[in-house]
Amino acid sequence: MEKEIIYNENCLETMGKMPDGYVDFVITSPPYDDIRNYNGYKFEFEKITKELYRIIKEGGVIIWVVADSTVNGSETGTSFKQALYFREIGFNIHDTMIYYKNNPMPQTGNRYHQHFEYMFAFSKGNPKTFNPIVEPTKYHGLANMKNRGQNGSLDYEKVERTKEKKVGNVFFYSVGGGISTKDKIAFQHPAIFPEKLVADQINTWTNEKQRDLCVNKEDYKFKLCDCDTESWEEIVSQREPDYQYRDVIYYHCDMCGEDFAVVDFDTNELLYYNYGYNK
């Protein structure tokens, strides 16, 4: 399957081209019940879910942004039915997060304004990457941390406060024209969510120091060391002074610590090679 191509087709066809354990991370927002007809296309939920389980890597994460329609005066509960099915086929419900809209469409009737949607994090095993969004802590110095044991008693322990803390799992975004996205064409889609939401989740669940190989190992025959090629990794360095402050990727052996190539992040230009490079 070719990378860096947009496949405008049924997602089941696209996933069918992928080998097992191919994908690190997925973020998507499926149809919310039958709120829209999607030009007659069907949402084959169970087939899609099983294919997602097949293609996701061990330790990979799926972010599933979803909400429920209201039918005959009752919310359908489809969101939680879907979450339970993900768990049934082998995923962990790693976190139930909230996508909170600061400025939702006003609603009439006897319900409060609908400010949020569910943002489930499903993982295949324990997530292999977690880069939490952090914020500064308000207080410094020692703190009394309390924990209530199974017998109901409170235990206290003095710990040093950190300078930063993880944010909560409710994510706040403003939405609407020119806010969710600056892309006027993208905004024509009837059900987009904010680009910032996507960026936050990608940065959280994927390693920001790694990306897919810009240089195909079949094209560039590196011979660096005798270590297993599974120990090779790509490390992104921004504004690297050794390379005229470009953003670069170091191709590196994690086992023996050697760098065997450096590539320009934006242009794929090979800037450095080591030990018998052949094109």
Domain presence at residue 241: yes
Task: Clarify whether residues 162 and 173 are in a common domain.
Answer: no
In a domain, 4, yes or no: no
Amino acid letter, residue 190? P
Same domain for 92 and 195: yes
Task: Give the range of the structural domain holding residue 159, as residue numbers without chain letter.
Answer: 135-166
260 occurs within a structural domain: yes
Strands 170-173 and 92-101: parallel
Q: Are residues 188 and 229 in the same domain?
A: no
Check if the beta carbon of residue 227 is closer than 8 Å to that of residue 243. no
Q: Whole-angstrom Cα distance, residue 3 to residue 22?
A: 12
The count of structural domains within the chain is 3
Task: Report how far residue 49's alpha carbon sits from residue 120's, in angstroms, rounded to the nearest whole number.
Answer: 14
Q: pLDDT: is 229 or 134 the higher one?
A: 134
Query: Where does a domain end: 181, 205, 229?
Result: 205
Model confidence pLDDT, tens digit, residues 168-221: 999 999 887 667 877 777 777 777 888 899 999 999 999 854 444 344 444 444
74 confidence band (pLDDT: 50, 70, 90): very high
pLDDT per position as a tens digit, 123-134: 999 999 999 999
Check which CATH number belongs to the domain holding 65 and give it.
3.40.50.150
Is 25 a domain residue? yes
Could you tell me if 40 and 117 lie in one domain? yes
200, 83: one domain: yes
Helices (H), the chain: 11-16, 45-55, 78-88, 195-205
Is residue 246 domain-shared with residue 180, that is, in the same domain? Answer: no
Separation between Cα atoms, residue 14 and residue 22, nearest integer Å: 12
> What value does the mean pLDDT take over residues 17-38?
87
Say what angle helices 45-55 and 78-88 make with each other, to 10 degrees.
40
User: Residue 174 is which amino acid?
Assistant: S
Q: Is residue 5 part of a domain?
A: no
